[in-house]
Amino acid sequence: MFKKVLLGLLAFFVVSGILIFVGNTFQIEILMFQFYTETSDGFEAGGSLIPFGIAAVVTYLVGRWCEKRKKVVLDK
């Protein structure tokens, strides 16, 4: 169970980090996540949550893969 959670968190952070890095490097707005600070009104945040959504899907797939792998190992 711990291994599944650890792999899921690692997959989430790695995939979202790579997508945000690619978005910021190549100026792809749909993958960018950035904050804009304004002193008079407080702060304004802008960016896309799509990299985090994609990372959540990858995390789900990694969890399913771990379950299937565990089942195959137990069947042997």
Neighbours of 43 (CB within 10 A): 9
What pLDDT does residue 39 have?
Answer: 63
What pLDDT does residue 70 have?
Answer: 82
What is d(CA 49, CA 73) in angstroms, rounded to the nearest whole number?
Answer: 36
* Angle formed by the axes of helices 50-75 and 2-25, nearest 10°: 150
Structural domain harbouring 69: 2-75
- Return all residues near 50 (Cβ < 8 A) that are at least 6 apart: 19, 30, 31
Task: Tell me how many domains the chain contains.
Answer: 1
Contact 43, 37 (CB under 8 A): yes
pLDDT tens string for the chain (76 positions)? Answer: 788 889 999 999 999 999 999 999 998 989 988 766 676 777 777 788 999 999 999 999 998 998 888 888 777 6
